[in-house]
Structure 1
């Protein structure tokens, strides 16, 4: 299945699915899902010692202010593989977070 076909979630906004692009503590490689093929591509090699402290991904079929899908940092005990889809169950956000509806 193409990553483009992953729904935003099962019961929005309570249960969402996050497509992981960059694992926690990974090498500085930026991956992106190609919007035509749905395949995971290497976007670029970042020239910085920076790394993401959590898994970095997005919610498919959403739109943030920058025109891309909504970004999400997902803390887990272990890094997740790029292209993995992880469900975030009810209670994943605080009551004060009104950005996802």
Structure 2
């Protein structure tokens, strides 16, 4: 099923994201299982923190950590786990954890889905409050997990995000 979902029409400017975890949902880490082709419960998070944006991945990509490239989709509503949304990149939250480099592309729905984010074209257009929430979440969401750690490397712009997406598409092939 996942192989049938294209990574996008105009990579890296237009790409699809498979949502794994809805924004503000209960602290459960869902993950797409390549073997079963289903979204499964990966673990119950030790902290009571909730994802500050919809969380998913670009299908048919392979990032530096060996998984599809991660994406946080800023949207007006929580999206259902398993749904696919067409997006455009506006930046990257750079971090590393116990599994290696694990950057998160920051994206908004494509223009045809809503005009609400037409003014957001790069990371500096994201409200500071939301950026602080994202940084706080990823800095602390593993605090109660023994042996796990996160190191934040800051933010980067939309051009960097598009290059990371292109690299992930090439890595997959």
- The secondary structure found in structure 2 opposite 1:73 is strand
User: Counterpart of 1:77?
Assistant: 76
State the partner residue of 2:18: 19
- Tell whether 2:44 aligns with 1:53: no
Which secondary structure does the structure 2 equivalent of 1:99 belong to? helix
- Correspondence 1:100 to 2:165: yes
Higher relative contact order (CA 8 A, sep 6+): 1
Show CA shifts across 1:49-81 (max 9, x none). 111110000001111111110000001111001
Aligned to 1:96, what secondary structure does the other structure show? helix
TM-score of the aligned structures, taking structure 1 as reference length: 0.87
SS state of the match for residue 43, structure 1?
strand
Structure 1's unaligned 5+ residue stretches are none
For the pair shown, which has the larger CA radius of gyration, 1 or 2?
2
CA contact (8 A) 1:23 1:81 kept: yes
Aligned residues: 98
1:100, distance to aligned residue in structure 2 (A): 2.2
Deviation at 1:3, TM superposition (A): 3.3
Q: For residue 9 of structure 1, give the secondary structure of its aligned residue in structure 2.
A: coil
> Which of the pair is proportionally richer in helix?
2
Structure 1 stretch displaced more, 4-13 or 72-81: 4-13
In the superposition, the TM-score normalised over structure 2's length comes to 0.53
Tell me by how many angstroms 1:30 deviates. 0.9
Q: Contact 1:20–1:80 (CA<8 Å) still a contact in 2? A: yes
